Structure 1
Amino acid sequence: MDILEHIEINSGVMMGKPVIKGTRISVELILEKLSEGETMENILMAYPHISMKAIYAALDFAAQSLKNTVYHLRTS
Structure 2
Amino acid sequence: MDPELIGGTPVFRGTRVPVQSLIDHLEGNISIEEFLDDFPTVSREQAMAFLELGMASLIKEASL
The gaps in structure 1 that reach 5 residues or longer are 1-8, 70-76
Larger Rg: 1
The gaps in structure 2 that reach 5 residues or longer are none
TM-score by length of structure 2 reads: 0.73
**SS at structure 2 position matched to 1:58:** helix
Structure with bigger helix share is 2
| Cα displacement string for residues 23-56 of structure 1 (whole angstroms, at most 9, x for unaligned residues) | 1111111111111111011111111221111112
The runs of 4+ residues in structure 1 deviating greater than 6 Å are 64-69
Identical residues among aligned pairs (%): 26
Structure 1 pair 30/12, CA: closer, same or farther in 2 (3 Å)?
same
Structure 1 pair 65/43, CA: closer, same or farther in 2 (3 Å)?
same
**Structure 1 partner of 2:48:** 56
Aligned residues: 62
TM-score by length of structure 1 reads: 0.63
Structure 1 pair 17/61, CA: closer, same or farther in 2 (3 Å)?
farther
Highest relative contact order (Cα 8 Å, sep 6+), 1 or 2?
1
